[in-house]
Amino acid sequence: MPTLILDNGSFSIKGGYATDDDPRLIPNFVTRTKRTKRVYVGDLIDTSTDLSGLYYRSPFERGFLTKWDCQLAVWDRVFSNDVLRCAPASTDLIVSEPMFNFGQIQRSMDEIVFEEYKFASLVRAPATRLAVIGAGQTIYGDSGGEPECVLVVDVGHSFAYVVPYYRGKQISKGVRRVDVGGRMLTSYLKETVSFRYWDMMDETYIMNAVKEKCCFVSSDFYRDLDAARGCIGGHGDKNALGLDYVLPDFTNSKCGYIKGQGGAAEQQMADAEAQVLPLCNERFAIPEALFHPADVGLEQGGIHQAVVQAAMACDESLRGVLMANILLVGGTASLPGLERRLQSEVQAMSPYRVCVSVPEDPATGAWQGGRLLAQGQEVPKEATYSPATVAEWRLTRAQYQEMGPDRAAAHFMKFI
């Protein structure tokens, strides 16, 4: 029976079968265009040529799944023959959920999976728990086994979570959350460029593309800030940190491009008078909010402080190993320079040796862990502990109907 792995993120769904090498990324929201008022569900937004001033409706609110009508519309699209071609009655499902998910939301998800879609079985776990599976290959490479202790730093769309694990079990007293994620950074970038250059407050789709293509995490913020002094985009003295981002015309380009790197779209738009967004210190000042949330008005420490606090909240015998096995995952973790900056900041605060590891694609780290779980490859036989197998973790539809929603929720809690 095929197993479908669904990393149900608040920005995108990473979906695919256990036999796939990589997942398919589907936007997890419903959008409506400003001019034509057309509604697009999930990946159908890619078929639109009117991407200016989109209205977004997300199933998630403050990181938790609350709008089930919106989520069901996206899932219907994901399971359809046009996307994943899923037949739920003959498919096992592994799905991710937010950290410390509310019991009512968990029961609603179980009910919808078994009663609405009638999946054959279900495994439900936080994305950080799935990311731990197979972490040894990322941390140690092909030469080592699976670590007993892993400190997962999940920098997602809504929040950044720091979660310590020991032998596959979450150490709840060490969990920390920073209320800065990809959505906050995109909004911060919109406000900054709207104040300085063009009014981009309604252009979430475009500014998210600008953030992903242009922003990076500085290894020395004040040095780069001094180097960027007087820089305005790619003009003037051609500062190495400055660049020009050509805004889209929605005919030749949908989300714009960096000037000089636009390829065919740049050649087609060469004769037209394109709007250019100059960027310089915005490129590294925006992601700095991950380390200094006070920049966006939040009275809390950055992710480096959360990492140290999480490790120090655990038993003293585990702290050094946790610091040496930091796993950085999540869509926002793809920002260039974040791994190196996090390691240097944590090392400066910690008496232990710090090592930060990042999967090849941090955004799909949880999905890859779910794929390994489905294949029965959570931990090799030579490991020093015996983790739960997917057969033990899995809850069938018959078992759910026999146990009821409350006992089903308790079943999944045993493995977190």
Higher pLDDT, 237 or 170: 170
Burial, 292: exposed, middle or buried (Cβ in 10 Å; 0-12, 13-18, 19+)?
middle
Split at pLDDT 50, 70, 90, the class of 152 is very high
Instruction: Tell me the pLDDT tens digit for each residue of 339-396.
Output: 999 999 999 999 999 999 999 999 999 999 999 999 886 544 444 445 567 788 899 9
106 C-beta neighbours (distance < 10 Å), count: 19
* Predicted local distance difference test score (pLDDT) of residue 159: 93
Render the burial of 302-338: b for 16+ CB within 10 Å, e for the rest. bbbbbbbebbebbeeebbbbbbbbbbbbbbbbbbeeb
Split at pLDDT 50, 70, 90, the class of 67 is very high
Whole-structure pTM value: 0.91
How far apart CA 242 and CA 235 sit, in angstroms, is 8
Q: What is the mean pLDDT of the segment spanning 68-76?
A: 95
Q: Which of 97, 102, 100, 95 is nearest to 121 (CA)?
A: 95
Lowest mean pLDDT among 126-135, 258-267, 364-373: 258-267
* Predicted local distance difference test score (pLDDT) of residue 269: 67
Instruction: Tell me the pLDDT tens digit for each residue of 75-101.
Output: 999 999 999 999 999 999 999 999 999
Split at pLDDT 50, 70, 90, the class of 255 is confident
Higher pLDDT, 230 or 181: 181
* Predicted local distance difference test score (pLDDT) of residue 132: 93
Which residues face 56 on adjacent strands? Answer: 31
- For the CA atoms of 67, 72, 78, 82, the dihedral, rounded to the nearest 10 degrees, stands at -130
Dihedral class, residue 74 (left if φ above 0, else alpha if ψ from -120 to 50, else beta): alpha
How far apart CA 372 and CA 367 sit, in angstroms, is 9
Higher pLDDT, 415 or 299: 299
Averaged confidence pLDDT in the chain = 89
Instruction: Tell me the pLDDT tens digit for each residue of 37-50.
Output: 899 999 999 888 88
Lowest mean pLDDT among 3-7, 45-49, 220-224: 45-49
Contacts 24+ apart (CB under 8 A), 161-164: 161/99, 161/128, 162/303, 162/306, 162/307, 162/309, 162/310, 163/99, 163/126, 163/128, 163/310, 164/310, 164/311, 164/313, 164/314, 164/318, 164/322
Parallel, antiparallel, or unpaired for β 243-246 and 276-279?
Answer: antiparallel
Split at pLDDT 50, 70, 90, the class of 271 is low
DSSP sequence for 16-46 = EETT-SSPEEEE-SEEE-TTT--EEEGGGGG
Q: What is the mean pLDDT of the segment spanning 27-43?
A: 91
Residue 236 has pLDDT above 50, yes or no: no
SS3 content of the chain, % helix, strand, coil (to 5): 40, 20, 40
Q: Is residue 231 helix, strand or coil?
A: coil
H helix and E strand count, the chain: 16, 20
* Predicted local distance difference test score (pLDDT) of residue 379: 47
* CA-based end-to-end distance of the chain: 25
* Predicted local distance difference test score (pLDDT) of residue 179: 94
* Predicted local distance difference test score (pLDDT) of residue 30: 95
Split at pLDDT 50, 70, 90, the class of 187 is very high
Half-sphere exposure of 407 (CA within 13 A, CB side): 8
Lowest mean pLDDT among 191-205, 219-233, 312-326: 219-233
* Predicted local distance difference test score (pLDDT) of residue 157: 93
91 C-beta neighbours (distance < 10 Å), count: 19
Q: Which two tokens stand for residue 68?
A: 């089930």
DSSP sequence for 295-358 = GGT--S--HHHHHHHHHHTS-HHHHHHHHH-EEEESGGGGSTTHHHHHHHHHHHH-SS---EE-
Higher pLDDT, 269 or 333: 333
DSSP 387: P
Lowest mean pLDDT among 152-161, 169-178, 401-410: 401-410
